[in-house]
Amino acid sequence: MATYDFLFSALGLKQWCASGESSAPMSMADLLTKNRGGEAEPESLWDVPFPSMDALNEACGNFPQSRELTKGLEQGFLSIKDSLSIVLDPLTQPLSWLLDGTLYGMLNTPWWIVIPLLLLVVFAVTRTWKLVGFVAICLMLLAFIDYYEYAMQTLSIIFVCAFLCVLIGVPIGIAMSRSDMLQRLTIPVLDMLQTLPPFVYLIPLIFLFSVTESKLYGIAIILYAIVPVIRLTNLGIRLVDKDVIEAADAFGMTSRQKLYRVQIPLALPNIMAGVNQTIMMSLAMVVIASLVSAPGLGVLVLRGIRNLELGVGLVAGLGIVILAVVLDRVTKASLARINASQK
Amino acid sequence: MARDIKISIRNLYKVFGADPLGAMAHVKTGMGKAELLEQHNHVLGLQNINVDIREGEITVIMGLSGSGKSTLIRHLNRLIEPTSGEIEMDGENVLAFNDTRLRKLRREHMSMVFQKFALLPHKTVLENAGMALAVRGYTINDFEAEANKWLTRVGLEGNGNQYPHQLSGGMQQRVGIARALASNSPIMLMDEAFSALDPLIRSDMQDLLLELQDELQKTVVFITHDLDEALKLADNLVILKDGHIVQQGEPQNILLNPNDPYIINFISDINRARVLRVRSVMVRTSEPPADSAGEISERDNLESVIALSGGDTELTYRVMKKGAQVGVLDMKELIKALVPTEAQTDGPPGQF
């Protein structure tokens, strides 16, 4: 006799319930009560359970248990997985090539070419020698403690993923800024991507792609890091001075001219702030993605946890901090340069 | 001075709200602005506007904040679409223009100067001045000479390579004017162009505009909330209140014959002697007076005549225009003209 028996008898569903009585799998708790001899406890009002799926199942065997929800979801996903893979696999294959190619390129070019090249890039975007010196010291420090290879792996993954985030995110942000409807639809998705624990992305991705493929972590990083660049592009374009937009209209600009000559240039400080955030979030995710075979400093952190190698874990963690500081300073400095050129 | 009509606005209405056309039906049946807002939650921005803007003149549209003057000027180049009514430019119906034709209108026929300057902050002064030409597809090499010419004309020679934020407000608005002039459009729309500037610079800019106007004879539509500015610049003055025209015509005429308490309020504290001109108060005749105290120009203001006469009300002057006598000014008439006018009770608003 279960608490909610009356509900099903009132609804006249006794017949339907009885038809599924035996087929329902038993929970551990059920099994234990059965073994204990199934003594019927007197029901008090204090003990009335919430009419949850499991409680209702007790009263009616045909009613699904809650574990069938998760099971159903899993089965649903598994059944569409194959057809989904057929579409997604070729679509995302270039990401694997890009990641593998960049990793190969960065690691097989000698350090005395890679480091000066990176410093040149830093100078090109920031134009400050002080920062170039700082970056040089950081990189050489990492190389000196033999973490050069790991750091370069991490860096090249960040470069590829951040680049793709900007490539995909900026157009999405622009489209959002032009249509309120699209903005309303996109913002919940962005909110979800931003709040979902990063580990959760990994689960369906593991089912979809093989763990040996680099696109697996590539997609996880891009999904996680693309949000700020979309948000800030949208915001930046929406915040462009209405008077200037009106002037552009009054002088007969087409919407394309307006976009390229007014909106994007004026939104650039905000877009660059988004790029900075995107790069920092890629770095955060590249560490977590080492769980699914992303190479780099994250692997060492993972080794530190798994094998309790305290020193390795701490030094790798410090290496990540150094990379983060370098990336942040460089992007902030180039952002400041843009801000200075347009007040 | 009957010039051709360049832009003609007929029965223009603008209703703001969720369903402007539905609300428009109520307006047509005679519902007022306050009732429309209260009963239907729609704002009647402009009602029954009829204005003829003549070629080569400065038409000033004056009104306080919320009178709809900025809304009205944006109808001319359709930055705001009217709810009902007609706008014609050179006999063409502007409202029937498609996108391409409308862009051509904005690029080649009408330029605009804004209250907050609205310059592109990431472009140099030179590039800003040449914006209208750049929009048409010219590169900086093509428009550099033209843009520099107009920058020089507005007194910004040598500032071409600076950025707008490096200039003062007055200089930025000079760039705004150069930008409008460089488009070589016959019509210039100026939306409170000098309101953000401090008084001395504003006066300078007004002089600059009048000087340019003498030379270029553009059709200028100028919006302002400042009566002194309106009287200084206007060939034709349109006074707006709550979205409708209270009175329009030659400024001198409005000053001497205001037909609405609203306008009397407006003009009560201005210096009439400085604004009124001899031609507005003289008696038109070609016969020389019996004892002329001297010759004055029809364009002189009354203040200068009072100074000339030394305050003697017994004198009579010959009024001259281009060397010929056009009238006679009796100093007693002049004093009468300085008496503040009471509101007229006859004649519908907006008509003479």
Q: What is the mean pLDDT of residues B269-298?
A: 82
Contact A249 B135 (CB under 8 A): no
Task: Tell me what pLDDT residue B350 has.
Answer: 43
pLDDT band per the 50, 70, 90 thresholds, residue B185: very high
Task: Tell me what pLDDT residue A27 has.
Answer: 65
B105 in contact with A, Cβ within 8 Å? yes
Task: Tell me what pLDDT residue A159 has.
Answer: 94
Provide the ipTM. Answer: 0.82
pLDDT band per the 50, 70, 90 thresholds, residue B181: very high
Task: Tell me what pLDDT residue B65 has.
Answer: 86
pLDDT band per the 50, 70, 90 thresholds, residue B256: confident
Task: Tell me what pLDDT residue B38 has.
Answer: 86
**Best-predicted range by mean pLDDT (A29-43, B229-243, B297-311):** B229-243
Residue entry with tokens 């109520």: B26
Residue A10: how many CB atoms within 10 A of its CB?
A: 9
- What is chain B's mean pLDDT, rounded? 87
3-state secondary structure chain B: CCCCEEEEEEEEEEEECCCHHHHHHHHHCCCCHHHHHHHHCCEEEEEEEEEEEECCCEEEEECCCCCCHHHHHHHHCCCCCCCEEEEEECCEEHHHCCHHHHHHHHHHHEEEECCCCCCCCCCCHHHHHCHHHHHCCCCHHHHHHHHHHHHHHCCCCCCCCCCHHHCCHHHHHHHHHHHHHHCCCCEEEEECCCCCCCHHHHHHHHHHHHHHHHHHCCEEEEEECCHHHHHHHCCEEEEEECCEEEEEECHHHHHHCCCCHHHHHHHCCCCHHHHCEHHHHCEECCCCCCCCCCEEECCCEHHHHHHHHCCCCCCEEEEEECCEEEEEEEHHHHHHHCCCCCCCCCCCCCCC
pLDDT digits (tens, 9 = 90+) for B12-68: 999 998 888 888 888 888 888 888 888 888 888 899 999 999 999 999 999 888 888
Contact A252 B79 (CB under 8 A): no
A340 in contact with B, Cβ within 8 Å? no
Would strands B5-16 and B43-54 be described as parallel, antiparallel, or unpaired?
A: antiparallel
B120 in contact with A, Cβ within 8 Å? yes
Give the minimum alpha-carbon distance from A270 to chain B in angstroms, rounded to a whole number: 14
**Contacts of range A120-129, beta carbons closer than 8 Å, 24 or more positions apart:** A122/A330, A125/A330, A125/A333, A125/A334, A125/A337, A126/A330, A126/A333, A126/A334, A126/A337, A127/A337, A128/A333
Q: CB-CB: which of A241, A251, A262 is closest to B106?
A: A251
A260 in contact with B, Cβ within 8 Å? no
A343 in contact with B, Cβ within 8 Å? yes
Q: What is the mean pLDDT of residues B109-135?
A: 92
B28 in contact with A, Cβ within 8 Å? no
pLDDT band per the 50, 70, 90 thresholds, residue B172: very high
Give the minimum alpha-carbon distance from B55 to chain A in angstroms, rounded to a whole number: 20
Taking only residues 174 to 193 of chain B, the set having a beta carbon closer than 8 angstroms to any beta carbon of chain A reads: 179, 183, 189
Phi, psi torsion values for B178, nearest 5 degrees: -60, -40
Query: CB–CB of A322/A283 below 8 Å?
Result: no
Task: Tell me what pLDDT residue A45 has.
Answer: 82
User: How many Å apart are CA A125 and CA A137, to the nearest integer?
Assistant: 18
Contact A247 B112 (CB under 8 A): yes
Residue B263 pLDDT > 70: yes
Low-confidence ranges of chain A (pLDDT < 50): none
Task: Tell me what pLDDT residue B76 has.
Answer: 92
Contact A250 B135 (CB under 8 A): no
B107 in contact with A, Cβ within 8 Å? yes
Residue A44: how many CB atoms within 10 A of its CB?
A: 7
Task: Tell me what pLDDT residue B352 has.
Answer: 41
Percentage of residues in chain B having pLDDT higher than 70: 96
